[in-house]
């Protein structure tokens, strides 16, 4: 269940890009939440319509017995052109095999997204303590980040029971960023006399 939710987070990750342009949006308190919920609604409707198409073209027995629902649905609805889809699907399958287990990759990315969202929710709680000078453009009730942090933390804790390898690998990849950030970002900010930093500043000028 936890892995399924993490994969779902990866699928619906597009709404997160809205916040990258929050400073350029007019009336962000109205338009940003509206855009987020509309995008989720549109994606959910597309997935729902896809499943409706499957149930319309195939009977319940066929859905349970076929190995590839998409191909079987195309055979019934696009029979003359279906051979081209089969060839394209074979080429994509060869590409997927060359990069390994695609399902494992998606699950690992879902775990990474879970950790990132947990960090963001926790950072909102830290900002609301008043220990930072950062002021948020949009403020939400404190109960929302508390619930969000708790739910995402629960997903991350339950994840290893179903996908232990992917959970450990994704966590390890994120933890590798900590020493890199410390060496190349944190220390360089504290040491303004670094030759590399001086060279970079001169180049910017």
Reported confidence tier of residue 80, pLDDT bands at 50, 70, 90:
low
DSSP string, 37-68: HHHHHHHHHHHHHHHHHHHHHS-HHHHHH-S-
Does 186 have pLDDT greater than 60?
Answer: yes
| Upper half-sphere CA count for residue 167 (Cβ side, 13 Å) | 14
Angstrom distance (rounded) from CA 37 to CA 129: 28
- Percent of the chain topping pLDDT 70: 62
- State the pLDDT at residue 203: 47
Question: Per-residue pLDDT for 193 more than 60?
Answer: no
Q: What is the mean pLDDT of residues 76-99?
A: 69
Lowest mean pLDDT: which of 49-53, 60-64, 109-113, 143-147? 109-113
pLDDT at position 49? 92
pLDDT confidence bin for 180, thresholds 50/70/90: confident
Q: 104 CB contacts (<8 Å, ≥6 apart)?
A: 163, 165, 166
More confidently predicted of 201 and 152 = 152
Mean per-residue pLDDT of the chain: 73
Residue 102 has pLDDT above 70, yes or no: no
Q: Cα(11)–Cα(112) distance, rounded to whole angstroms?
A: 13
pLDDT the model gives residue 127: 81
Q: Report pLDDT digits (tens) over 10-34.
A: 666 666 666 667 777 788 778 877 8
Q: What integer pLDDT is reported at residue 204 of this predicted model?
A: 45
Instruction: State the DSSP code for 193.
Output: T
Nearby residues of 125 by Cβ (< 8 Å), 6 or more positions away: 142, 145, 146, 149
Q: Give the up-direction half-sphere exposure of residue 192: CA atoms within 13 A in the CB hemisphere.
A: 1
């Amino acid at each position: 269940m936890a892995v399924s939710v993490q994969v779902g987070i990866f699928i619906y990750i597009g709404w997160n890009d809205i916040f990258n342009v929050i400073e350029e949006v007019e009336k962000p308190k109205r338009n940003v939440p509206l855009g987020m919920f509309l995008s989720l609604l549109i994606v959910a409707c597309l997935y729902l319509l896809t499943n409706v198409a499957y149930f319309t073209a195939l009977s319940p027995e066929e859905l349970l017995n076929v190995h590839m629902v998409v191909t079987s649905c195309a055979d019934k609805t696009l029979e003359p052109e279906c051979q081209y889809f089969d060839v394209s699907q074979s080429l994509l399958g060869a590409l997927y095999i060359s990069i390994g287990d695609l399902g494992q990759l998606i699950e690992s990315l879902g775990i990474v997204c879970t950790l990132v969202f947990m960090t963001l929710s926790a950072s909102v709680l830290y900002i609301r303590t008043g220990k930072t000078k950062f002021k948020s453009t949009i403020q939400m009730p404190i109960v929302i980040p508390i619930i969000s942090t708790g739910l995402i933390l629960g997903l991350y804790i339950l994840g290893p029971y179903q996908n232990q390898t992917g959970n450990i690998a994704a966590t390890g990849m994120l933890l590798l960023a900590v020493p890199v950030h410390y060496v190349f970002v944190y220390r360089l900010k504290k040491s303004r006399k670094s030759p590399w930093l001086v060279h970079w500043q001169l180049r910017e000028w």
